[in-house]
C-alpha cells in the first residue's frame, strides 16, 4: 500500500476501541523490558491463552522473542502517563516504577486493572509484526476503570445505563423519588451553592444583590430596566430603588441613569467567586475530566432547551 493508504488504514483501525496494556519481560542480562501495546486479545479459555503483537522494528523484539515468559498489565484510567512512558523508544522506562518479579519471572508493575502472567507458547509471523501467544499461569483483576485508546487518543470506558430509565415521579400518587431529574438538579444546586450563600451572609449581601453584581460583571453599565430584564428568569428582582440602595452602600456607582460595579462591589463579587471556585476545585477532584466535560455538556443542553426566551448574559462579551 502507498503511504497515504497506510495512513487511511491506520485511521480505520483506530475506530475500534481497545484497552491499553504494558507488557513486560526480562532480557537475557536480567534487565526489565517493557512496551505499551493495544494489540492484546484473548484466544482461549481452556486452556487459558492470550495473544499480542510486537513490531519487528521494536528495540524490544529480541528480548521478547528469546524469553519464555511475559506479563500483560491492563492499565487503569489513571495510568495514561505510565502508558506514555513505556511507549517511548530506548528510554529507561522502569525508572521510578515500582515492580517485582512475578510467578513466571516477568516484572510485575504494582498498579493495573488486570494482570496476566504468561508462558510463551507460540510465535507467528504477522507481516511487519510478531504475534506472541501465551498461556496464562496467573491472573488478577482489580476494581479499576480501564484506560481506553480510540481514534488515536486516550479515552475512558463507561458502562451504558439501562434502556429502562426510571422516571422518578408518580403523578397519580403525587410522589417523586431521587431519580426525578429536576429534583436532582435542584438539590445539586442548593447543596453546591451553600458555601457561596454563607459567604454572602458574611458580606451582608442578599441573593438578589449578588445577582445584580454578577450581571454587571458581565455587562455594564446597564440601566435598571436592563438589569431587571436579565434577572427576570432567576426569580430575583432589583428595581430602581433597590439599585439605588446598593449605590448608597457603595456597591454600585450610578452615572447618567446607568449602573456599574464600584470597587467595593467588585471586591465583594471576587471574594464570593473565590469561595465558589475553591469549592468547585474540591468537587472536581472526585470526577474524571470526561465526567466533568459530559456534565457541562448536559447542563448546557438543558440551558439551550429551556432558555429560548432567556437573555444571554454573556452576549455582550462575545467577539463580533
- Residue 67 sits in a domain whose CATH number is 2.30.110.10
Which of residues 123, 156, 189 is at a domain's end?
A: 156
What per-residue confidence (pLDDT) applies to 259?
Answer: 95
In angstroms, the CA 197 to CA 275 distance is: 10
User: CB–CB of 299/223 below 8 Å?
Assistant: no
Bigger pLDDT: 293 vs 20: 20
Taking residues 125-146, report their average pLDDT: 94
Angle, helices 194-202 vs 207-218, to 10°: value is: 100
Judge whether 230 lies within some domain: yes
7 and 152 in a single domain? The answer is yes
For 34, the enclosing helix (H) or strand (E) is strand 32-37
pLDDT per residue over 119-130, tens digit each?
A: 999 999 999 999
Tell me if the bond preceding 221 is cis, omega within 30° of 0: yes
In angstroms, the CA 227 to CA 220 distance is: 10
124 and 193 in a single domain? The answer is no
User: Which domain range does residue 123 map to?
Assistant: 3-156
CA dihedral in degrees (221, 225, 230, 234; nearest 10)?
Answer: 130
In this prediction, residue 245 has a pLDDT band, given cuts at 50, 70 and 90, of: very high
Q: Please give the order of strands across the beta sheet that includes 41-44.
A: 32-37, 21-26, 69-74, 114-126, 129-141, 49-55, 41-44
Judge whether 163 lies within some domain: no
In angstroms, the CA 217 to CA 111 distance is: 47
Bigger pLDDT: 306 vs 223: 223
What per-residue confidence (pLDDT) applies to 229?
Answer: 87
136 and 253 in a single domain? The answer is no
φ, ψ at 80 (rounded to 5°): -60, -40
In this prediction, residue 317 has a pLDDT band, given cuts at 50, 70 and 90, of: very low
φ, ψ at 97 (rounded to 5°): -105, 125
pLDDT per residue over 272-296, tens digit each?
A: 999 999 999 999 888 877 788 888 8
Judge whether 319 lies within some domain: no
Which of residues 156, 178, 196 is at a domain's end?
A: 156
The total domain count for the chain is: 2
Residue 259, C-alpha cell as written in the block? 449602573
What per-residue confidence (pLDDT) applies to 319?
Answer: 40
What per-residue confidence (pLDDT) applies to 166?
Answer: 59
Least confident of 45-59, 109-123, 133-147, 225-239: 225-239
105 and 151 in a single domain? The answer is yes
29 and 120 in a single domain? The answer is yes
146 and 184 in a single domain? The answer is no
10 and 67 in a single domain? The answer is yes
Judge whether 320 lies within some domain: no
Amino acid at each position: 500500500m502507498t503511504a497515504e493508504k497506510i495512513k487511511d488504514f491506520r485511521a480505520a483501525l483506530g475506530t475500534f476501541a481497545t484497552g491499553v496494556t504494558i507488557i513486560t519481560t526480562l532480557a537475557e542480562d536480567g534487565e526489565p523490558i517493557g512496551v505499551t501495546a493495544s494489540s492484546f486479545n484473548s484466544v482461549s479459555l481452556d486452556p487459558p491463552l492470550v495473544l499480542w503483537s510486537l513490531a519487528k522494528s521494536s528495540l524490544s523484539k529480541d528480548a521478547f522473542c528469546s524469553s519464555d515468559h511475559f506479563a500483560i498489565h491492563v492499565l487503569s484510567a489513571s495510568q495514561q502517563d505510565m502508558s506514555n512512558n513505556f511507549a517511548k523508544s530506548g528510554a529507561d522506562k522502569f525508572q521510578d516504577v515500582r515492580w517485582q518479579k512475578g510467578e513466571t519471572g516477568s516484572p510485575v508493575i504494582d498498579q493495573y486493572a488486570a494482570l496476566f502472567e504468561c508462558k510463551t507458547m507460540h510465535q507467528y509471523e504477522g507481516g511487519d509484526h510478531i504475534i506472541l501467544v501465551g498461556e496464562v499461569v496467573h491472573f488478577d483483576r482489580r476494581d479499576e476503570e480501564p484506560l481506553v485508546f480510540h481514534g488515536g487518543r486516550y479515552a475512558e470506558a463507561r458502562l451504558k445505563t439501562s434502556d429502562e430509565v426510571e422516571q422518578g415521579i408518580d403523578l397519580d400518587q403525587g410522589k417523586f423519588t431521587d431519580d426525578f431529574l429536576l429534583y436532582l438538579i435542584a438539590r445539586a444546586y442548593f447543596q453546591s451553592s451553600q458555601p457561596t450563600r454563607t459567604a454572602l451572609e458574611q458580606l451582608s449581601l442578599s441573593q438578589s444583590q449578588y445577582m445584580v453584581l454578577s450581571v454587571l460583571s458581565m455587562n455594564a453599565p446597564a440601566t435598571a430596566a436592563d438589569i431587571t430584564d436579565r434577572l427576570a428568569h432567576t426569580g430575583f428582582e432589583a428595581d430602581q430603588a433597590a439599585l439605588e440602595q446598593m449605590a448608597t452602600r457603595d456597591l454600585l456607582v450610578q452615572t447618567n441613569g446607568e449602573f456599574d460595579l464600584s470597587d467595593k462591589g467588585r471586591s465583594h463579587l471576587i471574594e464570593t467567586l473565590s469561595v465558589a471556585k475553591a469549592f468547585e476545585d474540591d468537587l472536581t477532584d472526585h470526577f474524571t475530566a470526561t465526567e466533568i466535560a459530559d456534565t457541562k455538556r448536559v447542563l448546557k443542553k438543558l440551558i439551550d432547551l429551556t432558555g429560548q426566551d432567556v437573555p444571554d448574559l454573556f452576549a455582550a462579551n462575545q467577539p463580533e
